[in-house]
């Protein structure tokens, strides 16, 4: 099993972790998923039944992570409800033993605080679409997070990220994962192959994929 593209919404992507809303979860054979309610969804309308569905999906063998979930100060519902929904995702992750794919727009503090106040600081997080500067990267790295880089990133943040915490993604951008790996390799002065090898190894480790698979 090879996960090179750590975060995409393209529902038929291969070698990828496909982020999908549990209400639209319809797994294809040989594909792997993260399930969660995106913070841009109208989080106020998520019901108890929806959270039960999230937990059921999380136990599906092709689901390797919870997400994307997280917080966004520029878009989506109010911060209190976003926080509550994010914590519910952390709880499901904790119960099912899965790591979490996090959407973070100007919410680094809120995300880390929510994890801590909910006593769920041990739940592994990967912040996707990493676009913050190197100070944001440092704060997240110090909190143990993996960082996933896509088409647009701050070069200082990428240079701050150790090679063993680096992930690659296409998200919903019109790029291939090879193009993203090439951009990242240029900034790091590494070969594209080295970057791809590191990112796939990191994804395996973060997602807890059995080395025999």
Q: What residues line the site for Zn ion (CB under 5 A)? A: 171
Element (H, E) at 204: helix 192-207
Distance of CA 67 to the CA centre of its chain: 6
Least Å distance, CB 132 to Zn ion, is 16
Give start and end residues of each alpha helix (H) in 29-152: 48-58, 79-96, 108-117, 134-142
41/50 with CB nearer Zn ion: 41
CA distance 22 to 157: 32
93/117 with CB nearer Zn ion: 93
Least Å distance, CB 19 to Zn ion, is 6
Least Å distance, CB 174 to Zn ion, is 14
5/171 with CB nearer Zn ion: 171
CB atoms within 10 A of CB 44: 12
65/212 with CB nearer Zn ion: 65
110/171 with CB nearer Zn ion: 171
Least Å distance, CB 203 to Zn ion, is 15
Residue 129, phi then psi, degrees to nearest 5: 55, 45
Least Å distance, CB 84 to Zn ion, is 21
Distance of CA 150 to the CA centre of its chain: 12
29/174 with CB nearer Zn ion: 174
User: What are the helix and strand counts (H, E) for the chain?
Assistant: 7, 8
CA atoms within a 13 Å half-sphere pointing along the CA-CB vector of 45: 6
Whether the link from the prior residue into 68 is cis, omega within 30° of 0, is yes
CB atoms within 10 A of CB 15: 14
CA distance 7 to 14: 11
Residue nearest to Zn ion (CB): 171
């Amino acid at each position: 099993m090879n996960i090179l593209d750590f975060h995409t919404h393209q529902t038929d992507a291969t070698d990828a972790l496909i982020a999908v809303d549990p209400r639209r979860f319809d797994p294809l054979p040989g594909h792997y998923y993260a399930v969660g309610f995106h913070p841009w969804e109208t989080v106020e309308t998520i019901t108890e039944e929806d959270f039960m569905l999230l937990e059921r999906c999380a136990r599906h063998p092709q689901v390797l992570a919870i997400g994307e979930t997280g917080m966004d100060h520029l878009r989506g519902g109010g911060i209190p409800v976003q926080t509550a929904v994010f914590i519910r995702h952390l709880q499901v992750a904790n119960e099912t033993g899965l790591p979490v794919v996090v959407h973070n727009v100007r919410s680094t503090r809120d995300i880390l605080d929510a994890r801590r106040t909910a006593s769920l600081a041990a739940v592994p997080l990967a912040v996707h679409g990493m676009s913050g500067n190197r100070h944001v990267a440092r704060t997240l790295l110090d909190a143990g997070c993996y960082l996933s880089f896509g088409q647009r990133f701050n070069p200082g943040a990428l240079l701050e990220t150790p090679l063993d915490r680096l992930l690659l993604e296409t998200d919903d951008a019109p790029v291939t994962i090879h193009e993203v790996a090439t951009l990242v390799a240029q900034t790091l002065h590494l070969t594209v192959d080295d970057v791809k090898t590191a990112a796939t190894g990191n994804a395996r480790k973060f997602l807890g994929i059995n080395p025999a698979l």
